[in-house]
Chains A and B, each alone.
Chain A
C-alpha cells in the first residue's frame, strides 16, 4: 500500500492506495497518531485508491478518530469506493465517521471547522 501525506494549512491529508489491511495498518497508525498530537487534530483520509479494507484497517481509523476527537479534532473520510463502502456500512461506521464523496468536499468541511 502507498501512503501520500500532505499538509493543507493545519489539516493533514493522507491519500492511500492499495490494500488497507493488517500489513499496511501500522504506517497509517503512526500518521494518525502524529495528527492527534497536533492542534487542531484534523486529518482527511482519502480512500479513493483503496480497494480493500480489513478489520485491522478499520480499527486504525477508529482509534485515530477517537484520539483526534479527544483533542477537539476529527478524522474525515473521503472517496470511498463500493467494496470498501460495504465494510463501512456493515460496521455502520458510515454513520460514525464524517464521510465525503470527494477530497474537495472533505477539505471544505474541514476548513469550516478549524
Chain B
C-alpha cells in the first residue's frame, strides 16, 4: 500500500523576506514541491514590511504551497503566533529552518523563538529542526566577547540546544556537528543531512579570470554587520589597488544582517572615497548566478565563524576560488566538506590583501581551486537531500502511527475486547 501523502509545515524565512537562511529555504522548498510524497507545503514565515507581500505560487505540476506569514523578527510572542498558525493548518510534520538568531537580534526573543519546536512537539506535531549553526562552533572570542560574557552566552546556548534536542529530530549539515552533539548531550536524535547543491544541473564553470571590462572582480556575499564585516576587506582593497595589476572591482552583495541594521550604509559612507566599490543591496534569486559568475574570487571577511558557510557552497557551485579567515577549526571544517581556499589572519589587512593577491596573480591555482570547489559543491544536489528529509519524516510518521495503534490495542484490551476483534470492527 502506498503511504498517504503528508502535509509539511516549514517555519522559516523566505524570499522576498531578507532574514537569514531565506535562500536555503527557497531552494529546499523548490525541490520539496517536486516530491510525490507531499500533499501540501505550508510556509510559516515572518511577516514582510508594510506594503510587501509574498508572491502567489500556483500549483501547476508541483505540490501546492501556502504561505502563512505569522511571526515577526524580534517579537516576544513568536512561539504563540507560530503555534496558533500550526494549530489552524494541522500539518503532519513541522520542519524548523533555524540558526540561533532566526527569531531576533535580542537574547530574549531569540531564545523564546527557539523554544517553539519543542512546544510544537508537546502539542502533538512531529517536529524536526534543521540547525545550521551550533553554539559550540561559534567563535565568541573573535566576535569580541570577553570571557565572562562568553561563559554566560555559552551556558544559555547549551540550555537552548538542549531544548532543541527535545524535538523529534535535529538535522545538522556536517558529520562533526552530529558527533559533537551526540557526545556532549548524549542524544541519538541527531542526524546528518548535507547542505546540498542549489544548482540541480551544473553547467560548465563560468570562470572569467578577467571580466568583460578587463578587471578582476572580488565578491563578498551575505548578510553583513555581525560576524561578517567588510572593514578589513575594504582596507585590503585599498591596498591592492595601489599594486600593479589589472583594475579591480569590489562587489559587496547583500544586505545588513537583521541583527545589525544600518551597518552597510555606515560602511558606504565611511569608504565613500574608495573607488570601484559596488554595494548591490539585496540580490534577488534570479540575479544570484550572474553576481557569482562575474566574480574572480569570492572573499569571506568573517571575524568569527559559525562552522560551515552557505555562501561557500554557492561559491563552489559557480566554481570560484575563495579566500577565507583562519579562525579556529574553520579550515578543517571546510576541508571536511571537500572545499579548498586561501586563508588570511583576521585583523591583518596585509594578510587579507596577500591572500587575495596570491590568487589574483596565479590564474592556474585559481582555476584548480575553482574546479575543486565546484566538484565539492555538486557532489549532492539539494533535491537528493530533500529525499533524505522525506525518508526521516516518513519514519517519524510511521513510528507515530505504530504508537497510536499500540495505544488503541491496549485500550481495547483494557475494555475486554481482543485486539483482533478491535481491528475487525
Contacts and interface: CB of A to CB of B under 8 A. Distances in A.
A21 B414 CA distance: 53
A59 B384 CA distance: 6
A96 B379 contact: no
B136 interface: no
A56 B380 contact: yes
Interface in B362-389: 379-380, 384-385, 387-388
Interface residues of A, number: 18
Interface string B159-187: 00000000001000001001100000000
Given A62-B387, A65-B391, A96-B395, A91 B379 contact: no
Nearest to A54: B379
A55 to B, nearest CB: 5
Interface in B8-37: 36-37
A93 to B, nearest CB: 8
Interface string A62-100: 110110011010000000000000000011110110000
B138 interface: no
Contact of A96 (B175, B384, B392): B392
A37 B410 CA distance: 40
A90 B192 contact: yes
Given A72-B1, A90-B175, A92-B191, A63 B384 contact: yes
Interface in A14-70: 22, 54-56, 59, 62-63, 65-66, 69-70
B93 to A, nearest CB: 15
11 contacts: A55-B379, A56-B384, A63-B384, A65-B391, A66-B37, A66-B391, A72-B1, A90-B179, A90-B192, A91-B191, A91-B192
Interface of B: 1-3, 36-37, 169, 175, 178-179, 191-194, 379-380, 384-385, 387-388, 390-392, 395
